[in-house]
Structure 1
Amino acid sequence: MGELRIWSVFRRRLASAKLQRDRRLKMLGDNCPIIYALKGKQGLTTDLASILRLSRSFDVILDDIVSRDTEGYDAVISMPSSHPLSAMVATRFARKFSAPHLRNVFCKITVEEALTMLDRADIDVADHKRLAFRVGKQLQSAGFNGAFSMKDIPVGFRHIFTPLKISTGALTINASRVLLVDDLLATGTTMITAADLIRQANPHASVCGACLFSSAGR
């Protein structure tokens, strides 16, 4: 993913041609229904037995990742999320690498900041209107100071926004090797932004990423 190496525990597959033609099913779970089931969103659910099977597979694959990534890490940082899944995944990576798990290092930009970025973007009027409508829906639900979500932005326009910033009062990251952990990889924009912020704070840091589920088809 660009200049950032990212470990994926589970690889997502692209939906079948038939599923891609069915708009109703395609929208369900945003092409990763398992993560929505784990989070109990969009009416999707799972059961304890299935979670335990997933967890056992996770442990086996994580052991393999640790055996391959022999240099280890000085710090494991979880990406900000309204659901604790990414922090749970980061905790398990931190335990395996015997590294501290740092939370709340990053926070999402506000809807107001996203609107400012949109106004500065070099795009045509029609695209601006479409994006302004999408961000406007977040404004109605979350307010100017609410956290901005990239999931509502089409992939081709996500480069317009810098989705993260260092949290106010966050400790300076002095680790030489940092692992960023998220639950789901979509375009990689959020994780690459986080890696750039770490490198700005510590130019000598080596940064890698890890996610529970990979980007689709990669």
Structure 2
Amino acid sequence: MGLIVQGNVVKVDHENKEWLKTTPYGNPTKENIDGLIVYSLFKRLLASRKSRRIHRDKIPGDNCPIIYALKGKDNLTTDITSIKKLHVSYETIVNVFQASEPNGYDFVISMPSSHNISRIIGRRLANTFTAFHSHDFLRKLTIEEAFNLLDRADISVDEHKSLSYRLRKQRQENGFQGSFSLKGIPVQFRTEFPPLCLNNVKAIQVQPQRILLVDDLLATGTTLNTAYNLVQQMFPQAIIHGASLISSSTK
């Protein structure tokens, strides 16, 4: 019920107990992230010491090689057979998820991303629950907006210089209007930069009662919690849950 990493190729091997629970058994998981209930379709596992030795302590794909392979990041890739195996498990897991929430959802929001995985999963879950789906209700902060937030942050001069340097590196790569990334920002300063803001709010003509926020990978939960706070301000009476394709790391 796991993955194997052979060179740069990530393959699904149900007999291997590494990286991910790839069978329906033990999936989905349910976590409470600062008050937000989050369902994860596939449970992520910490790599064993053996795997760490094999990969010389550098865990490919931040301990989630399959999501990096699907995104084509870190030079990782996968094959069609592995994708089909995950899809078979996905169908059963989603049925369990649906049974866990018999009241369903009427609005599904995918988290904005440069990759389309959260959009695809969001659209499929919207079909499962017969819900309206939006991939642009929220958007990422721009680097220019991050600079503006930095100028208003209550931090020291040295801290401002350090963060400004990190933002300038992002600007060089993506331009002022490029999407801001929390990666590279020290954890203690991430509260200064909310990663998301409201975008296409006019797309919703009704008041949804049950909302599902969808992301591809659950790490710290910052993105989903930011989305939760924004969406709750718009729809204070709604019940809001989260969902991710892959859970946070667990032993």
| Structure 1 and Structure 2 fold alike (TM over 0.5) | yes
Structure 1 Cα separation of the partners of residues 220 and 154 of structure 2 = 21
- By relative contact order (CA 8 Å, sep 6+), the higher-ranking structure is 1
For residues 69-218 of structure 1, the aligned pairs below 5 Å read: 69-168=101-200, 170-172=202-204, 174-217=207-250
Decide which structure has the larger Cα Rg and report it.
Answer: 2
Higher strand share: 2
Identical aligned residues as a percent = 49
- Contact 1:107/1:164, CA 8 A, preserved across alignment: yes
Q: Structure 1 25/130 Cα, relative in aligned 2: closer, same or farther at 3 Å?
A: farther
Structure 2 Cα separation of the partners of residues 109 and 70 of structure 1 = 35
Structure 2 Cα separation of the partners of residues 21 and 123 of structure 1 = 40
Equivalent position SS for 1:150: coil
Name the counterpart of 1:12: 44
Structure 2 Cα separation of the partners of residues 24 and 149 of structure 1 = 28
Report deviation, 1:152: 2.9
Aligned residue identity for 2:238: A
Equivalent position SS for 2:203: coil
Q: Which of 90, 99, 103 is residue 58 of structure 1 equivalent to?
A: 90
Structure 2: runs of 5 or more not aligned = 1-32
Using the size of structure 1 for normalisation, the TM-score is: 0.89
- Contact 1:117/1:161, CA 8 A, preserved across alignment: yes
Structure 2 Cα separation of the partners of residues 216 and 114 of structure 1 = 28
Q: Structure 1 123/27 Cα, relative in aligned 2: closer, same or farther at 3 Å?
A: farther
Higher helix share: 1
- Contact 2:141/2:179, CA 8 A, preserved across alignment: yes
Aligned residue identity for 1:198: V
Equivalent position SS for 2:44: coil
Structure 1 Cα separation of the partners of residues 196 and 175 of structure 2 = 18
Name the counterpart of 1:34: 66
Using the size of structure 2 for normalisation, the TM-score is: 0.78
Structure 2 Cα separation of the partners of residues 39 and 123 of structure 1 = 36
Aligned length: 218
- Contact 2:216/2:245, CA 8 A, preserved across alignment: yes
Aligned residue identity for 2:92: V
Q: Structure 1 131/214 Cα, relative in aligned 2: closer, same or farther at 3 Å?
A: farther
CA-based RMSD:
2.4
Report deviation, 1:208: 0.5
